Amino acid sequence: MSGLKLGLPSKGRLQDLTIDWFAERGIQVTRTGSGREYAGQVSGVGDVELVLLSAGEIPRELAAGRIHLGVTGQDLIHEKIVDWPSRIVELQPMGFGFADLVLAVPAVWVDVDSLDDLDAVAAAFRARHGFRLRIATKYHNLTREFLRAHDVADYQLVDSQGATEGTVKNLTAEAIADITSSGATLEANHLKILPDGLILKSQATLFGARNADWNGTALEALRQMQAKLGVDMSALLDG
């Protein structure tokens, strides 16, 4: 039987902080190879295979059950996986990788200080220009659900996979929904966060896959990880 597959970020500060988090709890994650080779090993716990993936790939692999555990941002799980609680278990927020998904508008919109104001501006914008106010974002599902819940209409979402903060200055959007950690980049681009525009607070989190192959070897490794990490994994151990 194959062991437990642990999906971790493949590079960058998120990987470094994740490795440190496991090491502080007695599980050593070591990258092997060099350059672009994504390989490594896990020691200090039973039969665990390390799978290095981009943070954006980990939600998909968890949902499909191709990895048993994975570390990624809450924002990515919520955005990418429809009805995620039926397929993925949130096991433990890890205390780093903090970011807020927020709605931001031009700072010069001095009369727009709430979602109600944004709704009114969107209606006026459509009446004046003949098309809906554009909100640039990478987070279409979360943004759409949030605006629907707050009865904001007369907008359209435009996809932004690059520097979302620059879309207003470049006249490709009138507002944005994006991740921020300090708000400094938004401010530098003359944008302000709406006081009631917090869509989601996110941080790096350890998740588990409900429909992975939880065979005897994988379950034994999970029990050992639960003991080492001090994380309640009963939702996976109890099926």
Confidence label for 183 from pLDDT (cuts 50, 70 and 90) = confident
User: Does the pLDDT value for residue 32 go beyond 80?
Assistant: no
User: Does the pLDDT value for residue 119 go beyond 90?
Assistant: yes
Same domain, 195 and 212: no
Q: How far apart are CA 133 and CA 106, in angstroms?
A: 13
Same domain, 192 and 105: yes
Same domain, 131 and 145: yes
Confidence label for 40 from pLDDT (cuts 50, 70 and 90) = confident
Same domain, 109 and 197: yes
Same domain, 117 and 196: yes
**Percent of the chain's residues with pLDDT above 90:** 87
Residue 34 has a pLDDT of: 57
User: Does the pLDDT value for residue 16 go beyond 90?
Assistant: yes
Residue 191 phi, psi (nearest 5): -120, 155
User: Does the pLDDT value for residue 11 go beyond 90?
Assistant: no
User: Does the pLDDT value for residue 46 go beyond 90?
Assistant: no
- Show the domain range for 107: 99-202
Same domain, 191 and 126: yes
Edge-first strand listing for the sheet containing 69-73: 48-53, 4-9, 69-73, 204-209, 88-93
Query: How far does Cα 107 stand from its chain's mean position?
Result: 27
Q: Which amino acid is at 102?
A: V
Number of compact structural domains in the chain:
2
The CATH number of the domain holding residue 181 is 3.40.190.10
Q: What is the dihedral of CA 116, 122, 127, 133, to 10 degrees?
A: 180
Same domain, 232 and 149: no
Q: How far apart are CA 121 and CA 153, in angstroms?
A: 10
Same domain, 191 and 114: yes
Query: Across residues 161-171, what is the average pLDDT?
Result: 89
Task: For 135-176, give the DSSP string.
Answer: EEES-HHHHHHHHHHTT--SEEEEE-SS-GGGTTTTTS-SEE
Q: How far apart are CA 73 and CA 14, in angstroms?
A: 10
Q: How far apart are CA 83 and CA 6, in angstroms?
A: 22
Q: Per-residue pLDDT tens for 186-195?
A: 999 999 999 9
Residue 33 has a pLDDT of: 62
Same domain, 50 and 17: yes
Same domain, 160 and 175: yes
